[in-house]
Amino acid sequence: MIGSQVNDENRETTSEKGTDPTGNASNPIEQVLRLLAVLDPVETARTAVDTSRRSVEAMLSVLENLAGTLDNLNRTTSRVNALLDDIEEPLRRVMPQLGTALGAMATLGDAATQLADIGRKLSPLAALADNAGGLFGLRTSKPAQAPNVDPGTA
């Protein structure tokens, strides 16, 4: 009986305060006021402003870095253009002569190939001359070899 009297007294005091036995406000206005007490709008606004300020500072830092990078790129582009201006005209004058020199080298290569081909084709005649020299009493430093005559070239 004593326990039920305490519960009855609790119910009376909680109903006088406008809360149920669990401690929650039954009045909707009190619930809103309690929520507003928990949510501090000034603190929330201060946090939002601080976050915005840091975001703007970070964005400014990124833009300053981008401006520096673009400045470096412009300086590099100017240097490359100046280098091309210095080199372009002499290259335009040298290129035709370089082409002529390369053509002459190709012609010399062809001439060297033809000379080697003549030497190969005349080797049987040289062997014959060595043998003929032996008939007249001339000695050669190396023994005469049989001529290598290729039947397709003779």
CA 74 to chain CA centroid, Å, is: 20
Instruction: Determine the average pLDDT of the residues in 52-59.
Output: 96
Q: Each residue of 82-101: pLDDT tens digit?
A: 999 999 888 888 888 888 88
Cβ proximity of 25 and 32 under 8 Å: no
Cβ proximity of 147 and 124 under 8 Å: yes
Q: Mean pLDDT score of the chain, rounded to an integer?
A: 78
Q: Each residue of 117-128: pLDDT tens digit?
A: 888 888 888 788
Helical ranges in 18-40 per DSSP H = 28-38
Residue type, 87: I
pLDDT at 79 over 80: yes
Q: Each residue of 98-118: pLDDT tens digit?
A: 888 888 888 888 888 888 888
Please state the domain extents for the chain.
Answer: 24-135
Residues in the chain: 154
Q: Whole-angstrom Cα distance, residue 153 to residue 148?
A: 11
Q: Whole-angstrom Cα distance, residue 133 to residue 126?
A: 10
Residue with tokens 């240097």: 79
Residue 14 confidence class, pLDDT cut points 50, 70, 90: very low
Closest CA to 87 of 96, 77, 76, 95: 95
Residue with tokens 């002499």: 90
